[in-house]
Homo-oligomer: A and B are copies of this chain.
Amino acid sequence: MTAGIERAACIGGGVIGGGWAARFALNGIDVAIYDPDPDAERKAGGMLDNAERAFARLFGDDRPAPGALRFAGSVAEAVDGAGFVQESVPERLDLKREVLAEIDAAAPAGILVASSTSGLLPSDMQRDLNRSGRLLVGHPFNPVYLLPLVELVAGRDTLPASVERAAEIYASLGMKPVVVRKEIDAFIGDRLQEALWREALWLVRDGVATVEEIDDVIRYSFGLRWAQMGVFQTYRLAGGEAGMRHFLEQFGPCLAWPWSKLTDVPELDDGLIDTIASQSDAQAAGRSIRELERLRDDNLIAIMEALERSGAAGWGAGAALKDARQRLRKRRG
């Protein structure tokens, strides 16, 4: 039992929904998944295998007994008896509205409903709901069973108490809730990622670098900085002893330089897709998606454990891990 939740419903069981199911189950919560994809059960099983492997490495004997995971035949069946509902269906507003209305009809009042959308506005998704005050966005990051961040976004109708309660529930799952102060498309994380991603696509399209070279530039330099301090604290240090104000005043004029092609959106045509897909195949060097996922998970665990040892309370994602470890240990007794 976590923050009062004994059973959760995951509507949609793909990369994101399956990741949520694994995070719930490995925190001792029973989960019912509904996904019309006939292959969903096999895919979610693969996700759970990865997640179990990661949790065993992170928490060893402190892990709670995993919750039961079952596949339901309908939205209503999945939602029945659930204390929390997480929706993770494809990113189409019409589909989200339809599925959320089904959830809204099936779930008793007082049961929170969170959408995993990475960009749609909660106000738009609330339109057809009877109990719209309990709907909010709870946007996670892949792999959901490992990365701590969840962005909480309220719509026009969302009750403040719904946001507070969702933050408690997510924190009890070892996550770091960040409440987005204004409702905007794509929230914070995906705006930032998309900005860099667009520029990366231009660099490949224009033959400035291959996908592997771009990844190397990131992971041998600023990726290491951002993993532990983000961008503002990093730039505070780039100003040297004069600090943030000096950095901003020095950097200000550069913003207007014609450095980037950000003003245009690159067309993701067949040629560019072919280039990226084949360079990505070369970069993977024969490793399967499953192998790469495990390598990624091992690296994420190693980085979070490294940051956990930074100072008494841990640092960044290491602080979240330290909290999660203490909570699991305490719960175990």
A interface residue numbers (CB < 8 A to B): 14-15, 43, 91, 119, 141-142, 147-149, 151, 176, 178, 180-182, 184-186, 188-201, 203, 206-209, 211-241, 243-245, 248-249, 251-252, 254-260, 262-263, 265-266, 268, 273, 276-277, 279-281, 283-284, 289, 292-293, 295-296, 298-300, 302-307, 309-311, 315-317, 320
Among A191, A199, A248, A252, chain B packs the most CB atoms within 10 A around the CB of A191
Each complex incorporates copies of this chain amounting to 2
- A224-B300, A302-B306 known; A292+B236 contact, CB < 8 A: yes
For A228, list chain B residues within 8 Å (CB).
Answer: 219, 223, 296, 299-300, 303
Task: Output the least CB separation between A99 and chain B (Å).
Answer: 18
Is there an interface contact between A218 and B199, defined as CB atoms closer than 8 Å?
no
For A219, list chain B residues within 8 Å (CB).
Answer: 226-230, 316-317
Instruction: Determine which of B91, B181, B307 lies in contact with A207 in the assembled complex, contact meaning CB atoms within 8 Å.
Output: B181
Other A-B contacts than A91-B254, A223-B223, A226-B226, 8 sampled, CB-CB below 8 A, are A148-B220, A149-B217, A176-B216, A190-B259, A192-B214, A224-B304, A236-B289, A245-B277
| Cα separation A251 to B307 with both chains bound (whole Å) | 32
Is there an interface contact between A182 and B194, defined as CB atoms closer than 8 Å?
no
Instruction: Determine which of B236, B255, B298 lies in contact with A280 in the assembled complex, contact meaning CB atoms within 8 Å.
Output: B236
Is there an interface contact between B232 and A214, defined as CB atoms closer than 8 Å?
yes
| Cα separation A222 to B241 with both chains bound (whole Å) | 29
Among A225, A226, A235, A305, chain B packs the most CB atoms within 10 A around the CB of A225
Q: List 6 A-B contacts (CB under 8 A).
A: A147-B225, A192-B218, A197-B231, A223-B226, A244-B281, A295-B310
Is there an interface contact between A191 and B296, defined as CB atoms closer than 8 Å?
no
Instruction: Determine which of B176, B207, B292, B299 lies in contact with A220 in the assembled complex, contact meaning CB atoms within 8 Å.
Output: B176
For A191, list chain B residues within 8 Å (CB).
Answer: 199, 203, 259-260
- A119-B257, A193-B222, A208-B181 known; A289+B213 contact, CB < 8 A: no
| Cα separation A207 to B181 with both chains bound (whole Å) | 7
Is there an interface contact between B195 and A232, defined as CB atoms closer than 8 Å?
no
| Cα separation A178 to B293 with both chains bound (whole Å) | 26
Is there an interface contact between A248 and B277, defined as CB atoms closer than 8 Å?
yes
Is there an interface contact between A243 and B207, defined as CB atoms closer than 8 Å?
no
| Cα separation A320 to B223 with both chains bound (whole Å) | 15
For A15, list chain B residues within 8 Å (CB).
Answer: 238, 240
For A279, list chain B residues within 8 Å (CB).
Answer: 232
Task: Output the least CB separation between A293 and chain B (Å).
Answer: 6
Instruction: Determine which of B14, B231, B262 lies in contact with A215 in the assembled complex, contact meaning CB atoms within 8 Å.
Output: B231
Residue of B nearest to A238 (CB): B142
